Structure 1
Amino acid sequence: MRFALLFATLAVFQAMSVAAQSLASRDLHAAATQGDLKALNAALDAGIGVDSADGQRQSALLLAVAGDHLQVFNALLARGASVNALAANKDTPWLLAGALGRTAMLEAMLALPPERAPDLSLRNRFGGSALIPACERGHVETIALLTRRSKIDVNLVNNLGWTCLLEIVILGNGGPRHVAATKLVLAAGANVNLADREGVTPLAHARRRGQVEIARLLEAAKAR
């Protein structure tokens, strides 16, 4: 009887501990989402793991990237947060920062020691890298950082059959930022004749879309 009571008491304490941990974990993710540095530090000081994930397997670092909360992001990085923690939708802090143009965050991640460095082999849900969506959206500063400071593959082909150059042309508007993006990826060694799955080259796409300046850049790079 006494043993049964003891086990029941232990089970209650364990359940209370799990519930407390779950609540503190929610506090951590809420603080990262809201950019609340004080609440974030309180949750971490309470013993919550810096890479603990929410129901979508999102880490606090990923949520800080999503909300563009640089101070919270830096605090989490200083606490050892992983830049490669994979969410259910295949986002990582590194991949999402590229897609959203979080250049300062990317720079901080590139400055990490090798054992914590971004894993360039990881792909987003479209099979792309941090660079491809940055090119699509014309995040010029981000593209400059990625092509100059990392060993990212500028000729990677995603699940749609598109490279970063093809995404600039197909999904961009041909305006100044996409022109600048084109110059950067060309300087980084983008293959101007790597066509899509239908065999349509970046130059053909640019001409079809009336992207005159980008077409001129491609022609100068001997595109066909």
Structure 2
Amino acid sequence: MSDATRDLLTAASAGDADAVRAALDAGADIEARADGAMTALVAATKENRVDAARVLIEAGADVNAKDDIQDSAYLYAGARGHDEILRLTLDNGADLTSTNRFGGTALIPASERGLLATVEILLEAGVDPNHVNNLHWTALHEAIVLGDGSDAYVDVVRALIDGGADTTIRDGDGVLPRDLAAERGYDAIVALLER
């Protein structure tokens, strides 16, 4: 690995956009891999280093390149609510059908975490709200089963339904989203699912 490439990977993690630019100008390999097979862009994204990520994306970094745990800049930004980087990836070729190590799209972990703004960005971009992951859950299932029924999750469930989520898809045990919500006492979510 060249010194320029090493400098690029360090600068990306640190969020030093000027050093990222300098390393690229010095001939750094933009798709080189650091520990965990992370590209500079994935490293910047995991630290939510927006300016460094912007420089890398504008220089042509692959927003879909995955590390050894199947995180890409697009998937990680979506999963963690790093919305500025997420928008940059969406504007620069993010693969909306790309899946993480659990077989889920970015929408599923965003829903699990109650990240309404991120959920709305992903739905607007065209991510399938009915994708089923390896656990046999959609984004709707995850918002219910892994959420806490609070207002944030009510808003996410509403956004998913408005975005085309099919409320009749059963989980791997054959249970409907409405029944999952009822079991947990999430009355506001039950009401949304029954309307």
Normalising by the smaller structure, the TM-score range is over 0.9
**Aligned residue in 2 for 1:214:** 189
Aligned to 1:90: 70
1:51 and 1:59 map into 2 onto residues whose CA distance is 6
Q: How does 1:43-82 map to 2 (within 5 A)?
A: 43-82=23-62
Write the distance in 2 (CA, Å) between the matches of 1:107 and 1:35: 18
Deviations, residues 74-98 of structure 1 (Å, cap 9, x unaligned): 1111111110111111111111111
Q: Does 1:201 align with 2:176?
A: yes
Which residue number corresponds to residue 119 of structure 2?
143
Larger Rg over CA atoms = 1
Q: Which runs of 5+ in 2 are unaligned?
A: none
Q: Distance in 2 between the 1:75 and 1:40 partners?
A: 7
Aligned 1:95-106 pairs, distance under 5 A: 95-106=75-86
Structure richer in helix, relative to its length: 1
SS in 2 for 1:56: helix
Determine what percentage of the aligned residue pairs are the same residue. Answer: 39
- C-alpha displacement at 1:139, in angstroms? 0.8
**Aligned-pair distance for 1:157?**
0.4
In the alignment, the residues of structure 1 paired with residue 167 and residue 98 of structure 2 have an alpha-carbon distance, to the nearest angstrom, of: 24
Distance 2:16 2:128 in 1: 36
* 1:5-37 alpha-carbon deviations (Å, 9 max, x no partner): xxxxxxxxxxxxx5xx0x432321121111112
Letter of the 2:47 counterpart: G
Q: How many residues end up aligned between the 2 structures?
A: 195
**Alpha-carbon offset, residue 130 of structure 1:** 0.8
Find the residue that maps to 2:29 and give its secondary structure. coil
Gaps of 5+ in 1: 1-17
| 1:125 counterpart letter in structure 2 | R
CA RMSD of aligned residues (A): 1.2
Cα deviation for residue 71 of structure 1 reads: 0.8
TM-score scaled by length of structure 2? 0.96
TM-score (norm: length of structure 1):
0.84
Superposed, 1:6-45 pairs within 5 Å as 21=2, 23-45=3-25
